[in-house]
Amino acid sequence: MANLKEIRNRITSVSSTMQITSAMKMVSAAKLKKAQDAITAMRPYAEKLTELLQSLSATLEGDAGGKFTNQREIKKVLVVAITSNRGLCGAFNTNVIKASKSRAVFYAGKQVDIFAIGKKGNDVLCKVLTIVDNQSSIFDSLTFDNVAAIAEVLTQKFVDGEYDKIELVYNQFKNAATQIVQTEQFLPLAPVQSDFNIAPADYIFEPSKEEIVLTLIPKSLKMQLYKAIRDSYASEHGARMTAMHKATDNATELRNQLKLTYNKARQAAITNEILEIVGGAEALNG
């Protein structure tokens, strides 16, 4: 059995760890509320923008999306892996990294590169795949304008023919305990499936429908990327809050076990001292 000093040191160490994990849990809980409100507020706008784009595209003939819907033979694929800059958030980053690697397996025989958003994904994926860019600093100032600049870079890579397909891999926020790994096609735009059960609204468009669609597509792409990063950001704090909650519970349980062990060891030491005193007294009397 370990001596009392070793057990006391372990109790102190576990108590310090428990304070750290508890503090991280509270910080993530506070950040999660803000991030959750942000993604919840923007989802209706993003969905309505997509709905409007689909409604307009369904009424057009031919290739309404132009260069954004250009379906080419897939030879080079760019996977945008959205992770976090920090760890201690359970399987949050691991799930995205695994999904990104699986895309390389899916496109076996083709060139698959990674566009990293988040330090953790960059550090791991750079060992197995080619990283063309790393935008980890986006989380220092997560605004639509900063994300729009990244979306423009990705769009230009597709338009210039550097890549034939671009996909987003990220964690979609469901709740604090659940994050769902999503793989979305960013470019080219998927063909729009019109709903024939809904009669198209009779609008007068100015300028033409084609011009409106070509204006909405870049905005829709920027919104799609911004929504994905916002989803990932909220998921990160939800995953970290859950992980730190479990870590705090485990540290509390371990501390209680150590205290019980310490008390048993102290009681055994006291009993031995009493026996030694009694034995010494008996020896003197003898």
Under 8 Å CB-to-CB from 83, ≥6 apart: which residues? 92, 93, 96, 97, 116, 117, 118, 119, 120, 121, 122, 232
How does residue 230 score in pLDDT terms, banded at 50, 70 and 90? Answer: very high
- For the segment 160-203, what is each residue's pLDDT rounded down to a tens digit? 999 999 999 999 998 888 999 999 999 888 755 555 455 455 66
Please give the single-letter amino acid code of residue 93: N
Active site residues: 89
Please indicate whether residue 249 or residue 190 has the higher confidence score (pLDDT).
Answer: 249
pTM of the model: 0.84
First to last CA, the chain: 34
How does residue 284 score in pLDDT terms, banded at 50, 70 and 90? Answer: confident
Predicted pLDDT of residue 196: 46
Of 58, 103, 199, 222, the closest CA to residue 152 belongs to: 222
Of 274, 273, 168, the closest CA to residue 227 belongs to: 168
* Domain ranges for the chain: 22-243
Of 119, 100, 95, 92, the closest CA to residue 236 belongs to: 92
Q: What gap in Å lies between CA 186 and CA 151, rounded to an integer?
A: 10
Prior bond of 207 cis (ω within 30°): yes
Q: Which CATH superfamily is domain 22-243 in?
A: ATP synthase, F1 complex, gamma subunit (3.40.1380.10)
- For the segment 13-38, what is each residue's pLDDT rounded down to a tens digit? 999 999 999 999 999 999 999 999 99
Contact 93, 120 (CB under 8 A): yes
